[in-house]
Structure 1
């Protein structure tokens, strides 16, 4: 695939968007653009109309293919640097859980698939800890030889944490590890995982153990959301609010303002001390 000249077009830029010379973000073709293929990569369902418009604009340049998580189709093997910036890596796809708000089980058919392990240090697997012990061993060996400290940004499942795994994670000296607090049933496993990580040598003050906290879903209130953020903090994690969106991408502006106060890594520690350490 990489032998071809493939221009990759993205409807929006994220932290993971690649930045090589063949990447275009929200751009129509210029007079000088030449390619064997054009790939439109769509991460979010609410970007589909704009992505389809981009596909029409790029059609005169080369055959256009569209894909990405927004299409709810199983992903293939991970190609480093192709649709995610160098350093990002996916070693497995899918998750055995059936969370009501998550599109991953629908996209991957409720299965977890282990992929060939490629180099990278920003791990974005859907549920790495649900993989086989052999696969996890291979991933950890790969991370130990990278030029940067690993980051686990895809979300590690607290219910699958063990004291031995906590020690192994500590041995990797990660820059950050994200867990998740999405439903009430997540709290007890999160508290148990937090204790294991602290016992393994992680320190709350370093803010390495972190936790996505889902907010703004139907029936939620900002008071309830704040309480969940506090529970994650007391369990040993730096909380980060993740704003729920439906397939249209709509969200309440008040919820968006609230989320911004709890998603900035420079502000969140101050907020935690202000609200949860009185």
Structure 2
């Protein structure tokens, strides 16, 4: 059965084979039994509605994706994520106010059949059972490419033993998160465990998303969180908050660009945080 997959926008994880279409309407040459429109962001739903009407003439249309807040199914490698990406579990037990995962998955973690891949995109891998985590790590050890954890590593759940197991994988990058004030102490402890396990700050393997731009936030507060993240042992990476409409302040977009590009962020860390003799906040202001 021939399936055409349509995506409202391209990301680094979007498949790039010949059956993929990016934000396009059908042409006379498009033929398929089914058309799957996969929508990740809620601000693309309006475009998705228009696309459904247009693609009906090509084949049976199915619509899905995180934007619809529907529970995800089993993971099929290469279908909606590029080859190499893998999802081994869905869901998270936390109730973070800004997160859409509980809206579509509830507050329980579902462990999926483990497929091969090296870029792990679980919602909260460390919330899974020890047996599942061990099986995921064994799968990653079989891969020819060093693994990347794009998220799903909750600092609160990281133990010293788990840090050692992560080190054994020789990962390219690990991404944690600093979303709310109570994350900081756990992030500091996680950084300590990871360094004691052999991770080096100079390798830039340890990274951390820092949520910015939400109501009540300020540039100075956000900068302070960047500093705290760096001092905990992680390279800070700004993650701009956007509501269901996708709106954001252009001022925050400018700030994010200064703290989301790895090269620029590395330079900023050297500029503001390396010299312990100076007050980094004063330098920034």
Q: Which range, TM-score by smaller chain? A: over 0.9
Q: Following superposition, which runs of at least 4 residues in structure 1 exceed 2 angstroms of deviation? A: none
Displacement of 1:47 in angstroms is 0.3
* Number of aligned residue pairs: 275
Displacement of 1:31 in angstroms is 1.0
Q: What is the DSSP-based 3-state SS (H/G/I as helix, E as strand, rest coil) of the residue aligned with 1:40?
A: strand
Deviations 1:59-101 (A, max 9, x none): 1000111100000010000000000000000000000000010
Displacement of 1:52 in angstroms is 1.1
Deviations 1:82-139 (A, max 9, x none): 0000000000000000001001011102111000000000000000000001100110
Q: What is the DSSP-based 3-state SS (H/G/I as helix, E as strand, rest coil) of the residue aligned with 2:262?
A: coil
2:160–2:193 Cα contact (<8 Å) kept? yes
Q: What is the DSSP-based 3-state SS (H/G/I as helix, E as strand, rest coil) of the residue aligned with 1:213?
A: strand
Partner of 2:53: 56
Q: What is the DSSP-based 3-state SS (H/G/I as helix, E as strand, rest coil) of the residue aligned with 1:35?
A: coil
Q: What is the DSSP-based 3-state SS (H/G/I as helix, E as strand, rest coil) of the residue aligned with 1:7?
A: strand
* Residue 213 of structure 2 is aligned to residue 205 of structure 1: no
Trace 1:186-197 onto structure 2 (pairs within 5 A): 186-197=183-194
Partner of 2:279: none
2:209–2:238 Cα contact (<8 Å) kept? yes
Displacement of 1:14 in angstroms is 0.3
Displacement of 1:154 in angstroms is 2.2
- The Cα RMSD (Å) is 0.6
1:72–1:107 Cα contact (<8 Å) kept? yes
How high is the TM-score relative to the length of structure 1? Answer: 0.98
1:155–1:177 Cα contact (<8 Å) kept? no
Displacement of 1:155 in angstroms is 3.1
Unaligned runs of 5+ residues in structure 1 are none
Unaligned runs of 5+ residues in structure 2 are 276-285
Partner of 1:228: 225
Match of 1:36 among 27, 33, 36: 33
